[in-house]
Amino acid sequence: MNFWNKYPLLRLLISFILGILIASFYPAMDFMVYALAGIMALLLFWVLRPKILINYSFRFVGGILISFLFFLFGYQLTVNEDARNDVNHYSRHTDIEYYIVRVNTPIIEKKKSFKTTGLILGGFRETDSLPVSLNGEVLIYLAKINELNLNYGDEILISAKKLNPIKNLGNPNEFDYATYLGRQNIYHQTWLNKSDWIKTGHATYIWIKRIGFQSRDYLLKILESFKFTNTEFAVISAILLGYDEYLDQETRAEYSGSGATHILCVSGLHVGIVFMIFSALLAPLRKLKKGEIFVPIIILLIIWFYALITGLSPSVLRSAAMFSFIAIGTLVKRKTSTFNSVFASALVLLIIQPNHLFHIGFQLSYLAVLSILLFQPDLSRLCKCKRGIAKKTFDLVAVSIAAQLGTFPLAIFYFHQFPNYFLLTNIFVIPVSFIILVAGIFALFVSVIGLSSTIVGFVAKQLLYYPLLLMNEFIEGISNLPYSVATNLFFTHLDTALVYLFIVLVFYAIFMRNAKLLSYSLVVMGVIQITNIALRYQSSTVESLCIYNVPKYSLIQLNYGTKTFIIGDTALLNHDKEHYYISGYQTANRIKIKEKLSFQDLNNSRNVRSFVFKEQSFFIVDEDLMIPTQTTSFDYVLLRNSPKIKLEELLKRIDADYMIADGSNKYWKIEQWKKECEVLKIPLHDLTQQGAFIIK
C-alpha cells in the first residue's frame, strides 16, 4: 500500500485509461451514464458519511469510489470525444449541397498535391439562403497549381459530393489508416481541382494557433536562408522545429535503421534542453524582487510557445506538461516527484484528448520516460567511477539502455524491426544533438535580432552546420553497417505484454538478488516460447491466396507455408515496390522465401494467362485479350487493366463462376461490369470497394 500512497495519481491514471479502452471497444453502453451518476452519489454520501464510518480501516472505500469515478469519467469523455455523436456533425445532414470549410492547418506541399485539413463550419441546401451550422473535420488534397493563394483560417466553398469516406485498402495486416484518422475525428477526405473550390472572402482562426504557425513559418524561412544542403535543412527543421515534411524517405530510413528516430521528433530531450537553457539564462533575474515568481512563469510561457510552434505533438505535450509541473513546483517552493509529474501530465493530456492514448508517439514517449526513471539509477550504479568523462559516458549508456528496455517491445509490435547498433548511435548522437539544439537556438536568435549578416551570424551558422553534417554522416555510416537492422520481427499483443513482464522481473531479480523473481521470469519466457512455436507451426501449415487491392496495379500472392510466390506488374515488382502492400502479411505469417513472377510469365502453351491454386483455377483477362479459342472452364476470372471486352462475349468462351476486378481497372469500367454481372447473375468481387480477395 505504501507504493500506492506514494504515487496516488497512478491509481487515477490507470482507472482513467481503463475507461478509455472500454469506451473504444464498447462505446454504446448507455448504462455507464447512470453508473457515473450512481458513483458520484455514493462518493457524496461517503464524504458526508456518519461518524461511525469515519475510521482509518474504512479509508480504502473512498479510494475505490474515486477510482471508479475516474474509470467512468474516462469512459464518458471518450464517448463524447467522437464528433459523430454531435447533432451538428456534417455526416448527420445528408441533404447538404455545399459546405463552408475553414482551412484548419497550414498547407503542406507534397509531390503531386497540397495537403491540409478543413473544419466544416456550415452548409447550404438547394433552397437555403442562409447557411446551416455544422461542424466536423475533413482531410483535403488540392491539385498542384503555380500559386496557391490559401492560408490557415481562409474559408472556402466546396461541393458536398466531393467528400469521400476514408477507407483502408482492405489488404491483410495493413496499417489501419481509417482508424488512425478516426481517432482524430477525421472520417472523410476530398480531392479538389482548381475549379472545385472558391474562397468566400472570409477568414476565421484561433489566434494563438495562428501565431504558432506564423512563428514556425518565419523560423523555417530563417533556416532556409542559411543555404544548407537539402538533407541538413530537412534534419535541422525536424530537430529544432518539429517540422518533418522536408525529410525524404532515405533520410528517414537511415535514422530509423540506426536507432536515432527519436532525434527527429521533438520530445522530452528537446523540451528539456530548452528548459535548461532558459533556466540558466534567466537565473540572474531570480535575485530581483518577485523574481522567484516571474522566472518560472516566463519559463512556462517559453516552454508552451516552443510546444506551439513545434506542432503540439503528443510527445511535445507530454514533455511540456511534465516540465510545467516542475516549474510550478519551484513556483510554490515544493520539490515534486518526477514520477508524479509524469503521471499528472499524462492524466491532464488524456482528459483534454482521450484519443492521445492510441497515438504511437504518446505511448513510446511515456514508456521511454518511465523506463528511464525505473531502470537508469540501478544501471548507473554499476559504474564505480564517481566523476569525469567515464562516468558521464556510462550514465549516457545507462539512459540509452533504459529507454530501449521500455520501448523496444512496442517498437517491434508496431514497426517489426530493431536497430542493433542503438547503443553506439545514442552515445554519439545525444551529446551532438544537444550541441545542435543549443547552436540552432543561438543561430535563430542571432538572425531574429538582425545580426545574420555579421561575423556573429556567420559563426553561429558554422557552429550549427558542422555538428549537423557530422551527425548525418555518422547516422549514414551506422545505417550502412552490416546487420544494422533486424527486420521482419513480429510480436502479438500477448507477446508484447509478456516481454514487458519478463524485462521487469529479470531486471529486479538481478538488482534485488531475488531468486523467486528470476524463477517467475523463466516461466514467462517459457510461455513466450510456447506461444511463438505454436504460431510458427500454424504459419508453416497455412496455404492461402490473396489478390491485393493496389491502386493502378495488379498483385497476387500465393502462400505455401513459409514460402510465397508474388505475381504482379513489372513496374510494381521493380525495386520491391510490392513490399509496402505484402510486408504486413509476410511478417505476421513468418514468410521468409519469396519468388516473383510477372503476368507475362503466366502464359501457357495455349497462349493464355492462367494458374491453379489448390484445385482452384484462375484465368486472367487484361488489355492483351489472350482468350482461348475454344470454351474453357475456370473457377475465377481476374479482370485487370480495363480490357475492352463485354462480359457477355467473354463468357461465350470462358465458363466461369466468379469475377474479380482489381485496382488496375478504371472506375467507370468496374461500374459497367457490375451492371453486366447483375444481369448475367454472376458474382463480382470489386477489390476497390470490398478489399482484398482471399482464399485460405
| Residue range 66-90, pLDDT digits in tens | 788 888 888 888 888 888 888 899 9
* Cα–Cα distance list, 212 to 205, 280, 540, 598 (Å): 12, 25, 53, 51
Q: Is 34 helix (H, G, I), strand (E, B) or coil?
A: helix
How confident is the model over 270-282, as pLDDT tens digits?
777 777 778 778 8
More confident residue, 50 or 612: 612
AA letter at 223: L
Q: Is 421 exposed, middle or buried (0-12, 13-18, 19+ CB in 10 A)?
A: middle
CA-to-CA distance for 296 and 302, rounded, in angstroms? 10
Average pLDDT, rounded, for the chain: 84
CA-to-CA distance for 525 and 390, rounded, in angstroms? 35
Please work out, in degrees rounded to the nearest 5, the angle formed at the alpha carbon of residue 446 by the alpha carbons of 443 and 452. 90
The answer for residues whose C-beta is within 8 angstroms of residue 328's C-beta and 6 or more apart is 296, 300, 336
CA-to-CA distance for 295 and 282, rounded, in angstroms? 7
Please tell me the predicted confidence (pLDDT) of residue 17: 93
Long-range contacts made by residues 296-305, C-beta under 8 angstroms, separation at least 24?
296/327, 296/328, 296/330, 296/331, 297/331, 299/275, 299/327, 300/324, 300/327, 300/328, 302/274, 302/278, 303/271, 303/274, 303/275, 303/327, 305/212, 305/215
How confident is the model over 554-599, as pLDDT tens digits?
999 998 888 888 988 888 888 788 888 988 888 888 887 788 888 8
Model confidence at 194: pLDDT above 90: no
CA-to-CA distance for 456 and 640, rounded, in angstroms? 63
AA letter at 477: G
More confident residue, 340 or 119: 119
Whether the predicted model's global pTM rises above the 0.85 cut: no
Ordered DSSP codes for 514-550: -HHHHHHHHHHHHHHHHHHHHHHHHHHH-EEEEE--B
Please tell me the predicted confidence (pLDDT) of residue 46: 60
60 phi-psi bin (left φ>0, alpha ψ -120 to 50, beta other): alpha
CA-to-CA distance for 158 and 558, rounded, in angstroms? 44
95 C-beta neighbours (distance < 10 Å), count: 11
In contact, 530 and 501? CB cutoff 8 Å = no
Q: Is 267 helix (H, G, I), strand (E, B) or coil?
A: coil
Please tell me the predicted confidence (pLDDT) of residue 241: 85
Structure confidence at residue 171 as a pLDDT band (50, 70, 90) = very high
Please tell me the predicted confidence (pLDDT) of residue 664: 92
* Cα–Cα distance list, 350 to 344, 354, 367 (Å): 10, 4, 15
Stretch 211-236: mean pLDDT, rounded? 89
Regarding beta strands 654-661 and 632-639, do their DSSP bridges make them parallel or antiparallel, or are they unpaired? parallel
How confident is the model over 303-329, as pLDDT tens digits?
888 888 877 766 677 778 777 777 776
Please tell me the predicted confidence (pLDDT) of residue 47: 59
Please report which helix (H) or strand (E) contains residue 141, including its range: strand 137-143
CA-to-CA distance for 207 and 369, rounded, in angstroms? 33
Stretch 195-207: mean pLDDT, rounded? 87
Q: Which of 23-27, 328-332, 656-660 has the highest mean pLDDT?
A: 656-660
* Cα–Cα distance list, 276 to 65, 302, 317, 348 (Å): 40, 12, 17, 23
Model confidence at 31: pLDDT above 70: no
* Cα–Cα distance list, 215 to 220, 311, 460 (Å): 9, 11, 20
Model confidence at 266: pLDDT above 80: no
DSSP 357: G
Taking the CA of residue 246 as centre, how many other CA atoms within 13 Å lie in the half-sphere pointing to its CB? 20
Residue in this structure with the C-alpha cell 519469396, named with its chain if needed: 594
Please report which helix (H) or strand (E) contains residue 155, including its range: strand 154-159
Structure confidence at residue 59 as a pLDDT band (50, 70, 90) = low
Please tell me the predicted confidence (pLDDT) of residue 256: 86
Structure confidence at residue 39 as a pLDDT band (50, 70, 90) = low
Residue in this structure with the C-alpha cell 513482464, named with its chain if needed: 501
How confident is the model over 594-647, as pLDDT tens digits?
888 888 777 665 556 888 888 888 999 888 878 877 778 889 999 999 998 888
CA-to-CA distance for 278 and 276, rounded, in angstroms? 6
In contact, 167 and 692? CB cutoff 8 Å = no
For 655, list phi and psi in degrees, rounded to 5.
Answer: -95, 105
Model confidence at 146: pLDDT above 50: yes
Stretch 469-496: mean pLDDT, rounded? 89
Going by C-alpha positions, the residue among 544, 539, 538 that lies closest to residue 693 is: 544
Model confidence at 425: pLDDT above 60: yes
In contact, 634 and 613? CB cutoff 8 Å = no
Ordered DSSP codes for 98-135: EEEEEE-S--EE-SSEEEEEEEEEEEE-TT-SSPEE-B
Stretch 427-451: mean pLDDT, rounded? 88
How confident is the model over 91-102, as pLDDT tens digits?
998 889 999 999
619 C-beta neighbours (distance < 10 Å), count: 24
Angle, helices 314-331/360-380, rounded to nearest 10 degrees: 50
Q: Is 617 exposed, middle or buried (0-12, 13-18, 19+ CB in 10 A)?
A: middle
- Lowest average pLDDT, out of 159-168, 242-251, 379-388, 601-610, goes to 601-610
Structure confidence at residue 43 as a pLDDT band (50, 70, 90) = low
CA-to-CA distance for 40 and 72, rounded, in angstroms? 10
Model confidence at 1: pLDDT above 50: no
Structure confidence at residue 372 as a pLDDT band (50, 70, 90) = confident
More confident residue, 215 or 45: 215
> End-to-end CA distance of the chain, in Å?
52
Please tell me the predicted confidence (pLDDT) of residue 592: 76
